[in-house]
Structure 1
Amino acid sequence: MIRRLLYLAIVTTSITANAQHNYTIQEGQAPQAGTSKSFTATITGVQMDFVESEWRDFLHQYQGKSGEPIKNGDVVVMETEEVIFPILDNEKVDIMAMFRPFLNQNGLDSVMLTIWIEREDTTHLNPLVDEQAGKKVKDWLLSFYAQIDRTAITTD
């Protein structure tokens, strides 16, 4: 357990320290999910409540049904079921999202969003097996960031 937490701390530090813009996406093995692969987006300059709300709205565009968020300290986990996923030819997937707030190196509010994508056959989308799908997920997450950016500009 300590080894997993240390791994997460190292990943978090490297993601935030190397971010040149206010948004980065990483892919890799999630420490707490065994062999499942995850995608992590680091979003800087926004509050966690805002990112959670935008994420729910973003997935509803794909007809996803979000459950109630589960809070554990500062970390929030949200599952959205039956998302019609354009990357996989509109296959329905379940997306588990974990939100974690932090202050970046400049003291700005930031959020680390990690997602796991479970296919209908209960396997997880794995960018190491399907590199093209992995790139498409990154692009899809960038479209989420574009939504956040547009909303943030119109509400400022």
Structure 2
Amino acid sequence: GLLFGVQPGGRLSGMFSLADPMRALIPAIGGILLGISVVWLRLRKFRTPVDPIEANALYGGRMSLTDTFIIVVQTMISSGFGASVGLEAGYTQVGSGVASRLARAFRLRRNDVRILVGCGAAGAIAAAFDAPLTGAFYGFELVIGIYSVANVA
């Protein structure tokens, strides 16, 4: 809104023209910033951040809070500069990352960590869309990967 001059309550997608044609460069600037952040992370030898689905499938639900922070910042940059991506990646990353960290703090079993990470992602989706069942289905289908009575209980 601020970068494009959108009035409070208005939508960028509802604008027919920009008051200043130079504002059309704003998404490109955001893309350049994202590219710089990726190059900087690679030069610093950071590995590719792990999302909740990959964490549950490959690492037993273990997620890094550093990865969480990186994805949240990159999501804020891309959305803030007008990229047509949703904020859901940042939401699910925070919910799952915090859940994973709590699970490690309580020394939970691998399966319990996976379920808690799924709950974190499900809660984030439910809050983002104000749709609790959608969040639950997201958690079961995509993050945990299985529907079972034991997981529901």
Q: TM-score under structure 1 normalisation?
A: 0.28
Select the structure of larger CA radius of gyration. Answer: 2
Q: TM-score under structure 2 normalisation?
A: 0.29
Bigger RCO (CA 8 Å, 6+ sep)? 1
Q: Higher helix share goes to which structure?
A: 2
